[in-house]
């Protein structure tokens, strides 16, 4: 049976969702889903297709609003009505589709939405040199080698694009980063690089929420695992004490460690 | 296509000389080459007639309204949109200003009246564009349809306001200054269109407004998630296109001394062709004002050259249409090559 991780952790989660409900028309995407992430950990959020992972991530990053339920950051009730709200609470998301503008270069993407300027309105212009300089520094911080930060992101490899997206999130996020299937489109080498990225981010004290289908990867990098099934959290595990069989069991419904009342 | 180390081709590319690579991959280089070839052909066909200062200056004047509209169209196309209404909004703005002049002194109107009428025309363009932007951004009507709708409305309004006959009571001062006047030996028409292009080229390349325009065209979802107010930005971009059509309308009114109601049904073809030849992608996110600037002169010089060579000028529209098709086809190929890289 799976071990419940709760007692080992600090009392107050950094981010907590309680009883989230979300309907899309007649489809119930979240059916009283709960989730918690603690400071400085990598927590994996897993579940089968349609379990509600993406919907949960979107509600927690302010992209969509739940019909019911509460979201707490550091124990305080918050209202995340836009990605900017989430960002204000130090929450960033690296999306499955990477959320990059392929025609802009890495430096422009890194600073999209918070450009650095020279001069003042009405003659305020982009400070491209400074943005480029900071981009190079940000990539170096992550141990990413990017030869040309002025090349359109579309010309980069999948792994490099992923690195740009991660660097972007890291430089915004002060507390939590959601990574939605960060390795889905990548080859073996890039996959390792992304897992390294995740560890580096955690080592900076930022909590990483990893959404993934890849069980060995989850167990390799996560400290804890929370399992979602049919719009609810059905199990929590400490990664070190858990086997792939247990995760799969929880995902498919063969195994349930908690039953929550929404 | 090896999946083993996708980093390798990128690294190899980075090693080839940056300047050469950038110049060859820049759309502007190719458009400029095409323009030179076009000029060489006509110079060869009509020596001493085509490549003269007089003819080039005349072409720059002909190009002025197209250039102004193309400036706005460039922003619109960069957002992956399209504005079909430009020539019709040009006429509407000219009509609004013209009617204002007609009822305020006509040919004898003073400088104050001239300014007021011009501002009225520009506001008409900006407001008209903003409404189209609202239809695109908020009502989620595809740009093609929203501006086709706007095209019809602008055309109808122009005929309703004027009763179908051109307003010719344009202030003499306007015609003799902006219309046919010179400043430092250059026609005002040319100065205005080049200056506006320069200013908005700088805005596109160096400001947040320009950066967001590219970002929205490249990936609107990414822009939205980065905190860009995408809807509001689109409204501003379409409003800018309307404003530019308004500027073109005033310039056109001053240049011809009449509203030329029925003379602009294919301006949109010329303008969109110019922007696309200039390297802007109809899929958004890629293009530049320099490209547009060069691109405008291709249909204009084509018309002039055909006239001088003695070919029926209606061939210009056929050729412009074909050039537009070719430019979009080339863009498709470029995109496919890039995605494979």
Using the beta-carbon criterion (under 8 Å), do B225 and A99 form an inter-chain contact?
A: yes
Task: Give, in order, the Cα–Cα distances in Å from A213 to each of A22, A163, A219, B49.
Answer: 22, 20, 11, 71
Does the residue B112 lie in any domain?
yes
- pLDDT tens digits, one per residue of B13-26: 445 566 666 666 66
Interchain CB distance below 8 Å, A126 and B217? no
Of A110, A114, A181, nearest in space to A146 by CA = A110
Longest C-alpha distance within chain B, in Å?
Answer: 77
Q: What mean pLDDT do residues A177-188 have?
A: 80
B76 is a domain residue: yes
**Residue B22 placed within a domain:** no
| Confidence category of residue B216, pLDDT binned at 50, 70, 90 | very high
pLDDT of residue A261: 41
pTM here? 0.84
- Report, as an integer, the average pLDDT of B151-155: 97
Does B205 reside within a domain? yes
Please give the residue that has the higher pLDDT: either B337 or A207: A207
pLDDT band at A10 (very low <50, low <70, confident <90, very high): low
Residue B198 pLDDT > 90, yes or no? yes
Least confident of A144-153, A217-226, A235-244, B194-203: A144-153
Kindly indicate the confidence band of residue A96, based on its pLDDT and cuts at 50, 70 and 90: low
Residue contact B215–A87, C-beta within 8 A: no
Inform me whether the pLDDT recorded for B8 exceeds 80.
no
Q: What is the pLDDT of residue B25?
A: 63
The answer to whether the CB of B285 falls within 8 A of the CB of A102 is yes
| pLDDT-based confidence at residue A8 (cuts at 50, 70, 90) | low
Residues of A contacting chain B (CB within 8 angstroms): 63, 83-84, 87, 93, 95, 97-104, 108-109, 112-115, 117, 124-126, 128, 147-148, 151, 154-160, 187, 189-190
pLDDT the model gives residue B24: 61
Give residue A20's pLDDT: 93
Average pLDDT over residues A30-58: 91
CA–CA separation, B316 and B303 (whole Å): 5
Instruction: Look at residues B141, B135, B90, B99 and name the one whose alpha carbon lies nearest to residue B117.
Output: B99
Mutation target to probe the B interface, by most B beta carbons within 10 A, among A54, A82, A103 is A103
Judge whether B4 lies within some domain: no
Going by the DSSP 8-state scheme, the letter that residue B106 receives in this structure is G
DSSP B262: G
The whole-number pLDDT of residue B23 equals 64
Q: Which residues of A touch B5 (CB under 8 A)?
A: 187, 189
Q: What burial class does residue A51 get, using C-beta atoms within 10 Å of its C-beta: 0-12 exposed, 13-18 middle, 19+ buried?
A: buried
Give pLDDT tens digits for A78-89. 998 887 888 889
Q: Which of B211, B279, B281, B338 to mutate to test the interface with A (most CBs of A within 10 A)?
A: B211
Least confident interval from A37-46, A158-167, B293-302: A158-167
Q: Where are the domains of chain A?
A: 1-83+207-262
Summarize pLDDT for B112-132 with one digit per residue, the tens.
999 999 999 999 999 999 999
Q: How distant is the Cα of B275 from the closest Cα of chain A, in angstroms?
A: 17
pLDDT at B3: 38
User: Is residue A4 scored above 80 in pLDDT?
Assistant: no
Q: Looking at the complex, does the CB of residue B286 fall below 8 Å from at least one CB of chain A?
A: yes
Distance CA B320, CA A195 (A): 53
The pLDDT score that the predictor gives to residue B9 is 43
Asked whether residue B10 is domain-assigned, the answer is: no
What the block records as the tokens of A37 is 């992430």
Are the beta carbons of A175 and A90 closer than 8 angstroms?
Answer: yes
The answer to whether B223 contacts A187, with C-beta atoms less than 8 Å apart, is no
| In the block, residue with structure tokens 């344009």 | B170
Residues 301-330 of B with CB under 8 A from A: none
Tell me the per-residue pLDDT of B225-275, one tens digit each, with 9 for 90 and over.
888 999 999 999 999 999 999 999 999 999 999 999 999 999 999 999 999
pLDDT band of residue B5 (cuts 50, 70, 90) is very low
Average pLDDT over chain B reads 90
Choose among B206, B223, B286: nearest Cβ to A112. Answer: B223
Choose the weakest-confidence range: A216-230, B59-73, B188-202.
Answer: A216-230
| Chain B 201-230, residues with CB within 8 Å of chain A CB atoms | 206-208, 211, 214-215, 217-219, 221-228
Q: ipTM for the complex?
A: 0.81
Size of interface A-B (CB pairs under 8 A): 97
Residue B262 CB partners (closer than 8 Å, separation 6+): none
Residue B215 inside a domain? The answer is yes
Inter-chain contact A84–B206, Cβ cutoff 8 Å?
no
**End-to-end CA, chain B:** 8
Q: Looking at residues B94-98, what average pLDDT do you find?
A: 97
Whether the Cβ atoms of residue A220 and residue A38 lie closer than 8 Å to each other:
no
Residue B268 maps to which CATH number?
1.10.3470
The answer to whether position B185 is within a domain reads yes
Residue A3: pLDDT band (50, 70, 90) is very low
Q: Is the pLDDT score of B73 beyond 90?
A: yes
Confidence at residue B7, expressed as pLDDT on a 0 to 100 scale: 42
Please give the CATH number for the structural domain made up of A1-83+207-262. 3.40.50.300
Chain A residues with CB under 8 Å of B10 CB are: 147, 151, 155-157, 160
Q: Residue B193 belongs to what domain range?
A: 30-334
Structural domain count of chain B: 1
Across the range A244-262, mean pLDDT stands at 74
- Average pLDDT taken over every residue of chain A: 85
Q: B77 or A212: whose pLDDT is higher?
A: B77
A194 neighbourhood in chain B, CB within 8 Å? none
Q: Quick one: closest CA in B to A88, which residue? A: B227
């Amino acid at each position: 049976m799976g071990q419940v991780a709760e007692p080992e952790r600090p009392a107050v989660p950094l981010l907590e969702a309680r009883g989230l409900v979300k309907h899309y028309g007649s489809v119930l995407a979240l059916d009283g889903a709960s989730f918690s992430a603690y400071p400085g950990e990598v927590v994996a959020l897993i579940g089968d297709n349609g379990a509600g992972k993406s919907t949960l991530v979107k509600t927690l990053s302010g992209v969509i609003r739940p019909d019911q339920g509460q979201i707490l950051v550091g124990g305080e009730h918050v209202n995340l009505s836009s990605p900017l709200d989430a960002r204000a609470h130090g929450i960033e998301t690296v999306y499955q589709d990477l959320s990059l503008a392929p025609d802009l270069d890495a430096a422009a993407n890194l600073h999209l939405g918070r450009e650095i300027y020279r001069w003042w309105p009405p003659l305020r212009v982009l400070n491209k040199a400074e943005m480029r300089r900071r981009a190079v520094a940000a990539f170096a911080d992550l141990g990413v080698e990017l030869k040309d930060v002025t090349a359109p992101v579309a010309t980069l490899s999948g792994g490099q694009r992923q690195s740009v997206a991660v660097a972007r999130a890291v430089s915004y996020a002060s507390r939590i980063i959601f990574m939605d299937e960060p390795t889905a489109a990548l080859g073996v080498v890039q996959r390792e690089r992304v897992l390294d990225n995740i560890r580096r981010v955690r080592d900076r004290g930022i909590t990483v929420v990893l959404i993934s289908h890849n069980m060995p990867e989850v167990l390799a990098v996560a400290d804890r695992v929370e399992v979602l099934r049919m719009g609810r959290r059905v199990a929590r595990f400490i990664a070190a004490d858990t086997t792939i069989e247990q995760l799969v069991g929880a995902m498919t419904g063969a195994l349930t460690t908690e039953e929550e009342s929404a | 296509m090896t999946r083993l180390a996708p980093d390798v081709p990128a690294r190899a590319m980075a090693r080839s000389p940056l300047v050469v690579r950038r110049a060859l991959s820049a759309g502007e280089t190719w458009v400029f080459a095409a323009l030179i070839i076009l000029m060489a052909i006509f110079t060869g066909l009509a020596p001493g007639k085509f490549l003269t200062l007089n003819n080039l200056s005349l072409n720059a004047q002909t190009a002025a309204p197209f250039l102004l509209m193309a400036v706005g169209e460039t922003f619109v196309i960069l957002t992956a949109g399209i504005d079909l209404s430009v020539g019709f909004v040009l006429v509407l703005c000219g009509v609004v200003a013209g009617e204002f002049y007609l009822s305020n002194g006509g040919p004898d109107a003073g400088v104050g009246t001239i300014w007021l009428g011009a501002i009225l025309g520009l506001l008409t363009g900006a407001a008209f564009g903003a409404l189209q932007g609202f239809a695109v951004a908020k009502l989620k009507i595809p740009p093609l349809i929203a501006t086709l709708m706007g095209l019809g409305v602008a055309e109808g309004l122009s005929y309703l306001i004027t009763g179908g006959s051109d307003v010719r009571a344009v202030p003499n001062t306007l015609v003799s200054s902006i219309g046919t006047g010179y400043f430092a030996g250059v026609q005002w028409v040319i100065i205005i269109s080049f200056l506006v292009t320069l200013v908005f080229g700088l805005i596109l390349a160096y400001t947040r407004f320009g950066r967001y325009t590219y970002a929205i065209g490249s990936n609107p979802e990414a822009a939205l998630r980065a905190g860009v107010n995408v809807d509001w930005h689109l409204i501003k971009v379409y409003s800018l296109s309307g404003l530019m059509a308004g500027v073109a309308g005033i310039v056109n009114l001053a240049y011809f001394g009449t509203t030329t109601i029925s003379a602009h049904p294919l301006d949109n073809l010329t303008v969109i062709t110019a922007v696309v030849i200039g390297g802007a992608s109809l899929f958004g996110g890629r293009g530049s004002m320099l490209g547009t600037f060069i691109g405008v002169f291709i249909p204009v010089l084509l018309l002039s050259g055909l006239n001088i060579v003695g070919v029926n000028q209606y061939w210009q529209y056929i050729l412009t249409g074909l050039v537009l098709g070719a430019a979009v086809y080339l863009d498709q190929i470029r995109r496919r090559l890039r995605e494979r890289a």
